[in-house]
Structure 1
Amino acid sequence: MKMTIKEIAKLAGVSQATVSKIINNYDDVGAKTKERVLGIMEEYGYRPSYAAQSLVKKVTKVIGVIYAGKINANFNHPFFVDVMSTFKKTMGMEGYDLLFFSNEQFHKNDENYLARCQHYNVDGCIIIGGDEVEPSVYELDQSDIPCIGIDLTLTGSHSGYIMTDNAKISALAVEHFYMLGQREIGFIGGKQSSNISRERLEGFRDVMQTYGLPVKENWIRYGDFFEDSGYEAMKELLKLDHVPKSVFAASDLMAMGAMRAVKELHGSIDDFSIIGCDDITASKHTDPPLTTVKQDKDKIGRMAAYILKDMIHDQIERTAVKVEPELIVRSSCAPGRRVR
């Protein structure tokens, strides 16, 4: 026989509200009462329904998903695809569903994320950072709805964020060039309006200065994290009288575009060293295989899920986490590669 919360309450000699508090991990129920109710639930194999979880606290088990700013880029980029895949799986195992919000109409009317999240009564939100983030994102961030940002700094009292240590990403790339004896290094970043790109460029400048290496402004170019922009940026570098033969691109896709430009204009990439960032699946299949700074996409996705869940249940306060990157050495920039 399938038990109901009413029957569990009756067997335990408590109110339905007390059972619901126990289901929702409230801490104002006595230990003995909690033990008795949980024992009965286990004995009868009772699993709480969404309705039961909502009797005391209005719980929908729905997480809002927002791709802030330039939505098309974020939906297509392999890094965010992998992070969200892990996040979805982890939250799904906790019983949550995902609700994706559109932002195509934001420049046409006054609708906002906070009102829509309240309308659907989401338990929390994950916000993926992009370029030109809508002001409405920060209104949501400052609300009482728990939010976790990916590559987006949130400051609200019910918010947190997680990202890779971007300065460390650049440091690993430059240090690798330096240890290979390569001293003239160019940089291809994302858009200048991108916070992530700015952090990686600042990290690049800092570590170059640490090792006494020259930072030439005409060796710094910008793209949009995608392949074609890396291709165009590298073509600009290749037109210079003095070309940097070592280039750090702030994404794997831009690094792949840079390698394509070198092959097209030079016929071979043998005299160049290129490092990307992200360690997307395709990076190991390029010709030559791409040296890259790995972002731990699985860890970021799982950690985002755990942090958001804990914030929803008031188990932690506002938090910010930076994940350590890792250098993955492959043939595009490896010991023995000749750069003349």
Structure 2
Amino acid sequence: MRLTIKDVAKMAGVSPGTVSKVINKTGSISAETAKKVDKIIVETGYRPSFSAKSLATKKSNLIGLIFHVEFSHPFFNEIVNSFKVTIGELGYDMLVFSRENFSNTKEDYIAKCQYFQLDGCVIISGEELEPPLQELDESDIPCVGIDIELKGPKSSYVSTDNHKVSSKVVEYLYLHSIKEVAFIGGPSDSIVSNIRKNAFLHYLDLFGMVKRPNWIQYGDYFEESGYQAMKRILASSPYPQVVYAASDMMAFGALKALKEEGILVPEEIKLIGCDDIEATRYSNPPLATVKQDRVKMGKLAAYMLHDLISGNADSFSILVDPQLIIRESCTIGTEITIPS
């Protein structure tokens, strides 16, 4: 039979509150009393329950992970792994919330957080905050968003500087005398994709590069949509010199379409992706890309959330600089490196 804190208190001849103070090292307890309680705990092998400890310390050391994007996408997988390792090193465990659990119920995230006595949450929600997440963001529960902007009183966020993602691509091509570039973005209403597209168009104008309506296409960040977008670009001439895709997965789809048409990469059309997922190193040819530092983003999110929980920082945001990685799919004679 499992011992309770009341059993330990009875054996030690003290109150349950005194046992709790000894276990959590709080309050003023004499050395003699503490020694007596500790002796009983050692002899009986008593271990306080999770709920008893969290009630006493007002801290559960539990973090909620709210994931509202496709978990199969490798970009988010690496961010979550980095966050998980770092938050564990800071002394926390994670509880994963499934989006589907909230589809047909009246429960909300705030109620769930209170039920499990969570210290805070990390939110990966893709493009927009749905109403239950907006309520959580506006609450007094510490939250950190990854790749999505949070504005709540106890919320922070970390994201790649998406404007710089496109500026690095266009600057690199301009410095190599390339002026005909197509763009494959995510969904047309995607906030991140539109930041990249608008920056892309801005720098095309700035450098006097060619713009054609058919060279701006949209997908969903996954391979099949990149394949279909590339087919639409190839449906009319002239062809661009370079195709820049807003995700590596879409770039792989574009590469497949180019190969089907017998178009050589990089000799006839060059290709650049975005994310620098592991597969870019092993594609044929290896894919040039804009690296988003996923490990750094995951670590930053963990430390930011820890600081919010501990009261060591107010709400703030961090934009992480991307890095242009040139590989064979976009080699252009003598290389000129754009500083990170």
> 1:145-169 CA deviation, whole Å, 9 max, x = no partner?
1110011100001000000000000
Among 296, 303, 309, the alignment partner of 2:300 is 303
The AA in structure 1 aligned to 2:189 is S
**2 CA distance for matches of 1:133 and 1:67?**
11
**2 CA distance for matches of 1:216 and 1:328?**
26
The alignment's TM-score, normalised by the length of structure 2, stands at 0.81
Among 115, 118, 123, the alignment partner of 1:127 is 123
Any idea what SS the aligned residue of 1:266 has?
Answer: coil
The AA in structure 1 aligned to 2:193 is S
The AA in structure 2 aligned to 1:246 is V
Any idea what SS the aligned residue of 1:221 has?
Answer: strand
1:232 CA displacement: 0.7
1:110 CA displacement: 3.2
Structure 1: gaps spanning 5 or more residues: 1-5, 7-13, 23-28, 34-47
More displaced 10-residue stretch of structure 1: 254-263 or 126-135: 126-135
1:245 CA displacement: 2.5
**2 CA distance for matches of 1:55 and 1:122?**
12
Any idea what SS the aligned residue of 1:247 has?
Answer: strand
Q: Say yes or no: does 1:211 pair with 2:207.
A: yes
Any idea what SS the aligned residue of 1:201 has?
Answer: helix
**1 CA distance for matches of 2:141 and 2:58?**
13
Structure 2: gaps spanning 5 or more residues: 1-8, 10-17, 29-46, 335-340
| Counterpart contact for 1:284–1:290, Cα < 8 Å | yes
| Counterpart contact for 1:132–1:193, Cα < 8 Å | no
Any idea what SS the aligned residue of 2:100 has?
Answer: coil
Evaluate the alpha carbon distance shift between residue 80 and residue 188 of structure 1 in structure 2; reply closer, same or farther with a 3 A threshold: same
Which residue matches 2:189? 193
The AA in structure 1 aligned to 2:201 is R
- Bigger Rg, structure 1 or 2: 2
| Paired-residue identity, % | 44
1:104 CA displacement: 2.0
| Counterpart contact for 2:122–2:146, Cα < 8 Å | yes
Q: How do residues 57-76 of structure 1 correspond to structure 2 at under 5 angstroms? A: 57-68=57-68, 71=69, 73=70, 75-76=71-72
| Counterpart contact for 2:127–2:192, Cα < 8 Å | no
Q: CA RMSD in A?
A: 2.8
Which residue matches 2:239? 243
Evaluate the alpha carbon distance shift between residue 315 and residue 19 of structure 1 in structure 2; reply closer, same or farther with a 3 A threshold: farther
The alignment's TM-score, normalised by the length of structure 1, stands at 0.81
| Counterpart contact for 1:17–1:55, Cα < 8 Å | no
1:216 CA displacement: 2.3
| Counterpart contact for 1:20–1:52, Cα < 8 Å | no
**2 CA distance for matches of 1:198 and 1:109?**
33
**2 CA distance for matches of 1:58 and 1:283?**
46
Among 158, 161, 172, the alignment partner of 2:154 is 158
Q: Say yes or no: does 1:291 pair with 2:279.
A: no
More displaced 10-residue stretch of structure 1: 315-324 or 201-210: 201-210
